[in-house]
Amino acid sequence: MIVKTDEEQALIAAAKRVLPGGTFGNFGADIVIREGRGGHVTDVSGNEYIDYLLGSGPMFIGHGHPAVTEAVLAQVPKGTTFFTNNEHGIRLAEKIADAVPCAEQVRFVSTGTEADLYAMRLARAYRKRPKIVKFEGGYHGMSDWGLMSLAPRRLANFPEAVPDSPGIPDAVRAEVLVAPFNDIEAAVRLIEARAEEIGGVILEPFQRLIPPAPGFLQAIRDVTARLGIPLIFDEVVTGFRFAYGGAQALYGVTPDICTLGKIIGGGFPLAAVAGKAEIMKHFDRAAVDEDGFLTQIGTLSGNPVAAVAGLATLEVLRAPGTYDAVFATGRSLMDGLSKLIAEAGIPAQILGEPVLFDVVYAEGQLRDYRALLRQDAAMQKHVNGVLRQEGILKGDSKYYLSTAHTAADIARTLEAFRAALASLPSSRKVA
What local confidence, expressed as pLDDT, does residue 29 receive?
Answer: 95
Nearest to 58 by CA among 192, 241, 209, 215: 241
Beta bridge partners of 274: 106, 258
Give the other-Cβ count within 10 Å of 299's Cβ: 8
Q: Which fold has domain 6-64+320-428?
A: Aspartate Aminotransferase, domain 1 (3.90.1150)
Nearest to 241 by CA among 140, 320, 355: 355
Interval 94-151: pLDDT, tens: 999 999 999 999 999 999 999 999 999 999 999 999 999 999 999 999 999 999 999 9
Q: In whole angstroms, how far apart are CA 168 and each of 201, 364, 399?
A: 20, 35, 31
Beta bridge partners of 358: 351
Reported pTM: 0.96
Mind telling me the catalytic residues? 139, 234, 262
Q: Which fold has domain 66-317?
A: Aspartate Aminotransferase; domain 2 (3.40.640)
Boundaries of every domain in the chain? 6-64+320-428, 66-317
User: Concatenated DSSP letters for 378-429?
Assistant: HHHHHHHHHHHHTTEE--SS-EE--TT--HHHHHHHHHHHHHHHHTS-GGGS
- Residue 60, Cβ density class (10 Å: 0-12 exposed, 13-18 middle, ≥19 buried): buried
Interval 351-396: pLDDT, tens: 999 999 999 999 999 999 999 999 999 999 999 999 999 999 999 9
